[in-house]
Amino acid sequence: METEFIQLGRRLLRAYAQRDYYAVNAMAQVYLAEAENNRHSSNYGNAIHQANTLLGLVELQNGDIDRATGYLLSSARTPGSPQIHAFGPNMLLADRLLALGQRRAVIRYLKACRRLWRLSFGTLLRWRWQILRGYTPNFGANLSYLTDYKSF
């Protein structure tokens, strides 16, 4: 059962990589529903984060910044996972929203992520400081982390 759950996540990430946004939207909804049936899984937190991140990216493709912002904040409403606790959340949606001037939402996201990324060593605070001063942080590997099907 858990293997099927993880495979669903991989298929979702592959659909995003192939820019099949219709499939991403449908699969992300299924992935969120399946996550609720797999709360015991160590992948549960990843599923919540990934599905909401990808749904937000699809909303940006559709031009709906408000919905994308909602999904950004929902992606931080995860209990986390071993991967998120160690390496941090994905920042791709946050980065794209920053480019559209959504600084407040991204700062709220970073604040919510503080409880998730236990080993950030001040990275979240540094990114927040940069945004408050009008800069766009270099999110580095966190732009692809948890959204690249090849590494998941």
Q: What is the pLDDT of residue 152?
A: 52
C-alpha dihedral over 94, 96, 51, 119, to 10 degrees?
-30
Tokens 């991140």, residue?
53
- 116 CB-contact burial (10 Å; exposed 0-12 / middle 13-18 / buried 19+): buried
pTM of the model: 0.94
Q: What is the pLDDT of residue 87?
A: 93
d(CA 69, CA 20): 21
Q: Digits of tens for pLDDT over the chain (152 positions)?
A: 568 999 999 999 999 999 999 999 999 999 999 999 999 999 999 999 999 999 999 999 999 999 999 999 999 999 999 999 999 999 999 999 999 999 999 999 999 999 999 888 999 999 999 999 999 999 999 999 888 766 65
Q: Show the domains of the chain with their CATH numbers.
A: 2-143 (1.25.40)
